[in-house]
Amino acid sequence: FGDWSAFRCHVRVGFCFCVKLIVKLGTQCPSSVNTLFVCLILIPNLHSIVCWNKSTQLFPRDPFVLPERLKMRCILVFDHLNDIIFSKCDHKFVSHVKKLGSFQGLDTNGIENECEDMDLNFVIQLFSPIVTSQRIMSSQFGNSYTSIQCQDGLNIVFDEYLGFLFVHLGFREIPWLKRVLGVCMSIMQHLCGPDISVLKTNRPRSTLVGRLLDTWSALVSEDQGFLLEAIEQLTVNPELNSVAIKALSDATDRMKSMLDQPKSHALLFVGNKFLALYSSKSVRELSAGDLLFLSLMSVWCQKEASNLPRPGSRSESSCSEFYSPDASPKSLQENGPLVDGSGSASDLILLSVDDKPASSPNVIHISPIAEGVTLILLYQTVYESLSVGLIDTFNMLHALNVISMSNTEIDGLKKGLENLEPASKKVFEAVKKLKSSDLSPKIEGSVKLLHSKWEVLKKQWSDHKKGAANSTSILSCCQNMNNTYKDLLRLTVLNRSSIPGSQASAHVIRQKVTASLVHFQSFLQAKALRNFTLGSREYLNINKYLEGFPGLVHFIYVDRVNHRIIAPSYDFEMAKPEGNLTKNQVWGMVDLSRTHLQEGHLAMMWRDQSFCYAYYLWFEDLSGTPLQPKVSVPQAMKMLPLPGVISIDFYKRLIEICFPRMTHSKIRCFELYCIHLGIATSSCVLEHSHRLASTICEVSGIPPNPLDIL
């Protein structure tokens, strides 16, 4: 056990033997494969037994009898070789791994305390059985695990993207673990595109992923907008709104004149709340998922800027809540700060293109213009068409790789190659449209190499049809092409070399926007803390709500077309004794509503000892006429992901499934949460809900939307 590389090789050989045995058994009795395979492979390392097929439940025989349940959590990302390319865990996970190592007779003296590096080789050994099982069940039988539940409450969830396996374990509920894992995948796609493997070697990139995950975790536990994955827009007077839009319009004009970037956006965030957006005429509209990601980056930048060392101050290192082993960097100091001394940050991110997430490369400049007020400048690079073609190509190559491990290899190989060819043609056409100034010798060399490899692939396929070549040679050629496509991706779409040249112009634009809003800075800083409240006396329209809705304690209204949220800021710490609504009650209301929504319930009402809660989801056309779903909602929910927007737009998919023969752009979807005092009757709550949906424009300026739940 001294030579870890040799040991890992030995373990993998053993896995291959087990895999072949199970595949052979599976051809005789496929229904028993899941249980058999996990029994043979999981028991040695995880000390577990399997009770049920598919919805697998593991009952660990942990050799350590702990005085209390070990509530550890960890996110791991494995590549196709089952090596860890990204990891994020807490100290309890590190401690538990150390104890497992000691139990198996391994030397763990290298981990002197919980802030030291953790040996990822041992972690790979622990997880290899279950990762291998997951991959075989997916490729051979199309019946992969979505989650595993253990007797002591530990849950493990899985997801996959282009052959990268994402694993999240913890003692939280499975839907929550899945949600966090989906957010993690979305962050990686925005920062890395299809090249997730870069996280293994690019320490600053991996650091940023971890910091954004920490920021999201903090926001989702405190902010209603992030809890519901919706954008909260500040309620400001027309004068300020006009000044902000004018300042952002001038900013996009300057990006065009100073940087020669006609496709740009300029945004203002106050805290994590959205103030204003101006987009140039030729640019694509930002999606709600993109806006949430930009809001997340804005808050992250604010926090990083506040933690920058001041002149003359001394920084003290301490163990943070999360711990990142070698595959992920531990601290910003090891690679220099991601935020400069002025609190600004510049980077390259990928935004959505129509229904394709993380496909459009954009340079982003984030700059503070006042405390809590952030300006974001975005401009689209020239490689968008190339990026879309490359992502399609990577998807086709991944599909071919899956086919190679399945039992339908011969039939699927032809279809896979037929799908790969148009995707590759899209790449070559996008390269031809680039200006000569955007083509370097390395890019041209990669394109020529791809052309030659395509000719080799065509010849291999022709020989295969004649029986002169096997599928292994074709798949080997595809793997070589995949590496060359990845090189082209890094040379073009993910190339960050032009960012420093635009930072000086971004600084000038920031100064101009700051000067335009200098008289409103104090007001915006106050709005960052509280947008509006039901108890506010400074706005007449809020008083109307107080007078018209007696017993109403709190409400949340969400337009699920543009994902804008309208909700009073509620200070849970300063809540009055007679209306002692707690944050846990609001967050619990959302969790319970989501659970029942996934079961197909679009309207519900329930009570506890203090309050009456109500939730509604409804559809209407552009004229405001209510629409009823054309299919069974409970059946439709079975085909949908978790409710949310950041990873996948659940509500857009819901509209598409519920109204299959209608123009989806003409259908609107809304959500409404209401909390009344417990003495309110059901008829009163229903009547308030109707009027609230119809008169919300008095607060927001949004056109009224009648709620039809009867």
Tell me, letter by letter, the H, E, C secondary structure of 71-107.
CCCEEEEECCCCCEEEEEEEHHHHHHHHHHHHHCCCC
- Least confident residue range of 276-280, 298-302, 339-343: 339-343
| pLDDT bracket for residue 103 (50, 70, 90) | confident
Supply the pLDDT for residue 697. 64
pLDDT for 295 beyond 90: yes
pLDDT for 435 beyond 50: yes
**Scanning the structure block, which residue is given the tokens 């003296």?**
109
Supply the pLDDT for residue 462. 78
| pLDDT bracket for residue 694 (50, 70, 90) | confident
Coil, helix or strand at residue 191: helix
With a CB cutoff of 8 Å and minimum separation 6, the contacts of 533 are 542, 568, 569, 570, 571
CATH topology for 4-170 is Beta-Lactamase (3.30.450)
Region 98-102: mean pLDDT is 80
CB neighbour burial string for 170-198, b if at least 16 within 10 angstroms, e if fewer: bbbebbbbbbbbbbbbbbbbbbbbbbbbb
Residue pLDDT, tens place only, 309-345: 655 544 443 334 444 444 443 333 333 447 887 889 9
Residue pLDDT, tens place only, 186-213: 999 999 999 999 999 999 999 999 999 9
**DSSP assignments along 376-428, one per residue:** EEEEE-TTHHHHHHHHHHHHHHHHHHHHHTSTTHHHHHHHHHHHHHHHHHHHH
Region 132-158: mean pLDDT is 86
pLDDT for 685 beyond 80: yes
- Least confident residue range of 487-501, 535-549, 565-579: 535-549
**How, if at all, do strands 611-621 and 273-279 pair?**
unpaired
CATH topology for 226-306+337-381+496-524 is Beta-Lactamase (3.30.450)
Domain 4-170 and domain 226-306+337-381+496-524, same fold? Reply is yes
Type of residue at 197 = S
Q: Where are the domains of the chain?
A: 4-170, 226-306+337-381+496-524, 397-491, 532-700
pLDDT for 31 beyond 50: no
Q: Higher confidence at residue 328 or residue 519?
A: 519
Spatial distance between the Cα atoms of 295 and 289, rounded to a whole number of angstroms: 10
Q: Let me know the angle formed at the C-alpha of 373 by 378 and 555, rounded to the nearest 5 degrees.
A: 100
Beta bridge partners of 348: 363
> Residues of the chain with pLDDT > 70: what percent?
75
Spatial distance between the Cα atoms of 690 and 681, rounded to a whole number of angstroms: 14
Task: Count other Cβ atoms within 10 Å, centred on residue 218.
Answer: 14
Supply the pLDDT for residue 319. 37
Residue pLDDT, tens place only, 607-617: 998 899 999 99
Q: Higher confidence at residue 574 or residue 274?
A: 274
Q: Higher confidence at residue 24 or residue 629?
A: 629
Spatial distance between the Cα atoms of 84 and 118, rounded to a whole number of angstroms: 12
Nearest to 495 by CA among 386, 409, 417: 386
Tokens of 511: 């100064």
pLDDT for 705 beyond 80: no
pLDDT for 291 beyond 50: yes
When the pLDDT of each residue in the chain is averaged and rounded to a whole number, the result is 79
Type of residue at 683 = S
Supply the pLDDT for residue 567. 83
pLDDT for 42 beyond 60: no
| pLDDT bracket for residue 573 (50, 70, 90) | low
| pLDDT bracket for residue 95 (50, 70, 90) | confident
- Least confident residue range of 17-26, 318-327, 332-341, 618-627: 17-26
Q: Higher confidence at residue 697 or residue 333?
A: 697
Nearest to 212 by CA among 300, 289, 307: 300
Supply the pLDDT for residue 392. 93
Supply the pLDDT for residue 532. 55
Region 659-677: mean pLDDT is 92
Supply the pLDDT for residue 579. 55
Spatial distance between the Cα atoms of 702 and 694, rounded to a whole number of angstroms: 10
Supply the pLDDT for residue 649. 92
pLDDT for 588 beyond 70: yes
pLDDT for 110 beyond 80: no
pLDDT for 589 beyond 50: yes
Q: Let me know the angle formed at the C-alpha of 500 by 497 and 502, rounded to the nearest 5 degrees.
A: 110
Q: Confirm if 584 and 701 have CB atoms less than 8 A apart.
A: no
Region 264-291: mean pLDDT is 92
pLDDT for 667 beyond 90: yes
| pLDDT bracket for residue 506 (50, 70, 90) | very high
pLDDT for 399 beyond 60: yes
Supply the pLDDT for residue 356. 86
Supply the pLDDT for residue 322. 46
Sign for the CA dihedral angle at 278, 282, 287, 293 comes to: negative
With a CB cutoff of 8 Å and minimum separation 6, the contacts of 351 are 190, 286, 287, 290, 293, 358, 359, 360, 362, 378
Type of residue at 50 = V
